Structure 1
Amino acid sequence: MIGTGAGPDLPGRVLAIGAHPDDLELLCSGTLARFLDLGSAVELAVACRGDRGGSGGPDPALADRRRAEAEAAAGALGAPIRFLGFGDSDVYDSPESRARFVSLLRESRPDLVITHPPEDYHADHARVGELAGMACWLSASGGWVVGDRPPLGRPPVLVYMDTIAAVGFEPAHYVDISSAIDRKRRMLACHASQTSREDGGIHALAELMEVQSRLRGFQCGARFAEAFRPAPLWGRIRPGGLLP
C-alpha cells in the first residue's frame, strides 16, 4: 500500500519513539514531515542518551552533545521532542521502564505511535519497540496509576517503522517522502557526532539514509519512500488509512 495524501482517517496526534538520537531521522522523519504538512500534530521521543555512540572511547560529554543534536533536528522538523533518559544498552522491561513509557504516552496522548519493530538489529531498538507496544495498552488502563495524568480513552494505534538498512523488514505500507526528503536530510545533518565519523562504512549514515530511501522508493514507484508495518496486536489496530 502506498500513501498518497490526506484522508479522513489520518491521526490528529502522532508520537514517534526512537531508541537513540538519529534513529527517527534515519527511519521515519520524512513521514513525520508529511504528517505535519497534512495537519497532524507530531511529537518525537528518544529513549536512550546516546552515551555509548562514540568512536573514541568513553566521552562524558557525548550524551549532552547528542541531546543537543536531537533537539536541533526536532527544530528543523518543527516538532517538540522528549527524552526518556535511559543509558545506551540499559533498556530492559521492568516496572520502572514501563512507567516511563506510560507517562510519556499519557503526557503526549497520541492517536498513533511509530516505533521500532522486534526484528531490528539492536537490542535497544527491539526493547524500545516492545515497551512502546506495552505502553500503548497500559496507558489506556485505569489499573495503571502513573503520576497524575488520566488514562487515555483507548490504546493508540501502533505502527512499526523500517529496520536499519531495511534488513529483514517486510513492509505493509509505503509513504512517498519525495516532497520531504530535503527536510529529512537537514534533520540527519544535525547529528554531526554520528555523520562525521570515519570508523568504517557501517557508520556512513547519510549514505545509508539516501540508499534506503531510494530503495523503498524503487519498491513502490516513488522517488523516495519510507516503509512501515502495523503491529499485529489486538486493541492497537484500526481500519482505514492511518499513514499519509
Structure 2
Amino acid sequence: MPKGQKILFLGVYGMEVVECGGALAKNILNGGESYASIMLCRETSQPQVKSAAETLGVKVSFLNFEYGTVDLSKESKVKLIKRIREIRPDIIITQDPEHSFHDLDPDRRPAMTLLLESIALASRDYALDETPGLAPHPIPTIYYMTPHHPNTVIDISQVWEKKEKAMDMLESQMEFSGKHFDEMLDLKTVEMLYPGFSKLDSYQEKGRAMHKVLDKAVHVYHGLATHGHFALAEAYRREGNFHLQELIK
C-alpha cells in the first residue's frame, strides 16, 4: 500500500469499521490517515464503536441515520457529500453492492444506492449551498469490503492483534451474535468450532468466542489457504480497472 494515503470508510453498521480495520490500521502504520463515517449506529453502541476505532487509530464519526428510513432524499445525500468533501479522500472503502443485495440486514440496499450516488455527486457542483466552503471532490478510488468476488487482498498480519482488540470493544454486537449462535447451532457442532462454548457464562462471551473462530477462518482463507502470499488477509474488490504504468508482481 502506498504511503500517505487518506482513506475514508463509509459504513452502514458499526462493526464494519473493524471488519475492514486491517486495511485502515495498515494505512496509518504506513503514514496515512484513516477515517470512518457510520450511517446506522445506535446511540448506546456508539461509545463502543468509537473505542474500537480508536484502537485501530481511525477517526470515526456517526451520521445518525434512522433504521428503516434510509432513502435517496437530498438531505440524506448531503450528509454523505459533506463528509466526503471535508475529508477529500484518496480512497473510499464501502460495502459491496452484490453483497448488500443478498444480505437481509435492513437498509443495506437503499444505503448502497445512496452511497454510490453521494460519491458521484460529491465530485459535481451539487449542494454547494448546503456545504459552504467545501469544494467538489473528484471520485476517489473505491474498494468494496467483504465482497463475494474479491480481486484484491491486503496483508494484515502486522495489525491482526490490533484488529482483534478492536473487536473486543463491540460488546453489544458480541452479545447479539452470542444469542444468535446459541440458538442457531446445536451443542455438538458449536463445541467442534469452539471447545468449551457451552460453559461460557454470557452471550457476550459466546459471541466473542465464535467471532474469533470466524475471523481467523475468513482471514486465513483469503490469505494462506487459497495459495496466497499472506498468513492473514482482508479481501476487497476494487471498482474498475487497475491503472498501472507497468505490470507488477
TM-score by length of 2: 0.77
Q: CA deviation at 1:223?
A: 1.1
Q: Deviations over 1:65-93 (max 9, x none)?
A: 21000110111111211111012333222
Paired positions, count? 211
Displacement of 1:211 after TM fit?
Answer: 1.9
Corresponding residue for 1:33? Answer: 25
- Structure number with greater Rg is 2
| TM superposition shift of 1:225 | 0.5
What's the TM-score once normalised by structure 1's chain length? 0.78
Q: Relative CO higher for 1 or 2, CA cutoff 8 Å, sep ≥ 6?
A: 1
Question: RMSD of the TM alignment (CA)?
Answer: 2.2
Distance in structure 2 (CA, Å) of the matches to 1:221 and 1:72: 31
Answer yes or no: is the 8 Å Cα contact 2:37–2:62 preserved in 1: yes
In the alignment, structure 1 residue 199 sits paired with structure 2 residue 205: no
What letter matches 1:13 in structure 2?
Answer: K
Q: Is the 8 A contact 1:14 1:112 kept in 2?
A: yes
- 1:23 counterpart letter in structure 2: E
Residue of structure 1 equivalent to 2:11:
18
Are residue 46 (structure 1) and residue 38 (structure 2) matched?
yes
Gapped runs of 5+ residues in structure 2? Answer: 185-206
Structure 1 gaps, min length 5: 1-5, 50-62, 164-168
Give the alignment partner of residue 128 of structure 1, picking from 108, 111, 120.
111
Name which of 129, 144, 152 aligns with 1:160.
144
Q: Identify which range, 65-74 or 201-210, moves more after superposition.
A: 201-210
Choose between structure 1 and 2: higher helix proportion: 2
Amino acid at match of 2:141: V
Deviations 1:139-184 (A, max 9, x none): 1212332321322342222111114xxxxx1111000111111011
C-alpha distance 72-172 of structure 1, shift in aligned 2 (>3 A): same
Shift of 1:189: 0.7
For residues 48 and 161 of structure 1, what CA distance do their matches in structure 2 show?
A: 17
Instruction: Name which of structure 1's ranges 176-185 and 134-143 shifts more when overlaid on structure 2.
Output: 134-143
- CA–CA distance in structure 1, aligned partners of residues 86 and 33 of structure 2: 14
